[in-house]
Chain A
């Protein structure tokens, strides 16, 4: 757990508007509560900015975040390293669909077919598309350099009067 903390920033994942306005760090300092052995999320020895590859995240509100990645990085690894809001309830064990992302057809086609287990989980994802994958199963390699992954908008949030909340 302590090694993980060395490589991620102290701030918990925050939305884009607050990202550029972080001044009150006192709220955002993590304290370790866990006494249980933690599950390892990311890669040892890889820092932000490392890697020959580029991956572009498109957030539900349209914000684009481009990051560097190394061979074998999953979208979950990148989300951890760069504090991107990609949920991962089951931590990559194919027991949920919270890390559902949508790829462009050209990149989707470059990947191996999803396993039965991944497909079982994708079947439960909201807004499933023809080019959907679980972020924890996408591993970076030469073919996927420049990959764009779009996070689907999970909520409808249309109010009774038809107005929509503005995502920031």
Chain B
């Protein structure tokens, strides 16, 4: 039987394979899920710097998309396994000199292998003048703000000072933020959006949102479900250069005929919205690259944005580049949200490809700077493949990494310091105590969650998230 052929970790009497996972989002959970199914004698400790697990499922998915968050039920089941342990409120590899963290070197002493799945917590910048003035923010920060990510509660945005917002980027996050900005407050009120965000959005004067991309409709990064939802927003008109969009789609018929998903999405785009005039509107603008944020002489806040107009060059819609034409256009606006992608941060002790912004790997096994596989070091999720895709992409990615780990176990490939007995988190207890680190267990998390449900019930919401770590920990006193 296969399981008896896994040498070192084969029988219940021999030592379990000990894996540390850094990051408790979908990548960490799905890799654990698969590994627990495929290997009997394994123990997995999942670390997260926050007391609460689930990563972007909690902090990234829009409040009005609760079905996407159903995946947390799968994660709860994974956490029920005796071989799985969650340690929240434990930061691994912090580059700051915080004493309340443990290093990758320290983890290596207590585990056979480490999986890095801590995602992409930075955002990309436009690199244009005045990008730092008030009123220019990353969509990531806006999402973190309304989703209650600790330390984002005090994000200030001029929502009540302007009727026009510009979102740079045409992915699903861009549509999320446009939709949240244009949703009736009563719709948002019933979701798990944070109260402080609801309060600020109820005073928002924003009525028009422009979603702007460098290239054309065929290169848009959003997907059908989200576009369809956007087109169906009640009482929100859709504006665009519809004739031009149609001509672009018509010109690509043969290309589209072989690509069902894109063809269907172009169909949704062409069909547009049934709402032609309304108080609120959203628009798609193409062939525009921001070159400057326009501001007053004091640089006190954003007043507009300048684009260079592009043309498209390339043999096919897949290989199309935006080329500047030297013509410019200005748009007045009071809010600019940058939604052009995320970046991962390097961690001490983990190889990192700065150019690509991710950890070099071969099907999830980490590679060093010479392209050699590093024993016992794995990666999954956005840190592995880059910050794109939906839940199923991360699930597939995580399963691939898990299969690589299983294969390495089966083939007795070298792990971390093979001849040393590994004791996992038990071996780190003294370190936690001496540094005042109080790990949060999954049962602890469920108590925090129960308090969030209770607070939400009082407000008629599914939950009211704690936006401060102190408040989360206070539940556990």
Contact = CB atoms under 8 A, between A and B. Distances in A.
B260 A89 contact: no
Interface residues of B, number: 51
B407 A165 contact: yes
B74 A31 contact: no
Contacts of B65: 95
A91 interface: yes
A27 B81 contact: yes
A5 to B, nearest CB: 12
Interface in B341-388: 362-363
A143 interface: no
A96 B390 contact: yes
Nearest to A160: B362
Q: Which of A15, A27, A97 has the largest count of B CB atoms less than 10 A from its CB?
A: A27
Interface string A96-129: 1110000000000000000011011101111010
Contacts of A94: 67
B274 to A, nearest CB: 15
Nearest to B261: A123
A33 B403 contact: no
Given A18-B3, A27-B82, A121-B225, A39 B70 contact: yes
B200 interface: no
Interface residues of A, number: 52
B260 A33 contact: no
Contacts of A13: 37
Contact of A124 (B2, B3, B392, B407): B392
Main secondary structure on A side of the interface with B: loop
Interface stretch (A46-54, A67-75, A151-159): A151-159
B79 interface: yes
Contacts of B449: 35-36
B403 A12 contact: no
A57 B60 CA distance: 34
A24 B40 contact: yes
B392 A33 contact: no
A117 to B, nearest CB: 7
B80 A33 contact: yes
Given A12-B81, A95-B68, A154 B396 contact: yes
A85 interface: yes
A52 to B, nearest CB: 30
Given A98-B395, A123-B264, A90 B67 contact: yes
A63 interface: no
A166 B400 CA distance: 13
A93 interface: yes
A159 B3 contact: no
A14 B37 CA distance: 5
A91 B407 contact: no
A30 B80 contact: yes
Contact of A157 (B228, B265, B407): B407
Q: Which of A17, A29, A87, A89 has the largest count of B CB atoms less than 10 A from its CB?
A: A89
A91 B77 CA distance: 13
A18 B399 CA distance: 18
Interface string B399-422: 110011011001000000000000
19 contacts: A12-B80, A15-B37, A15-B38, A27-B82, A29-B82, A30-B77, A33-B76, A33-B79, A33-B443, A90-B68, A90-B71, A91-B73, A98-B395, A120-B224, A123-B261, A124-B390, A128-B260, A157-B400, A160-B362
Given A26-B82, A89-B391, A155-B400, 16 more contacts: A17-B1, A27-B81, A33-B446, A34-B76, A35-B450, A35-B453, A87-B395, A96-B392, A97-B392, A120-B228, A123-B223, A126-B392, A126-B396, A154-B400, A159-B362, A165-B406
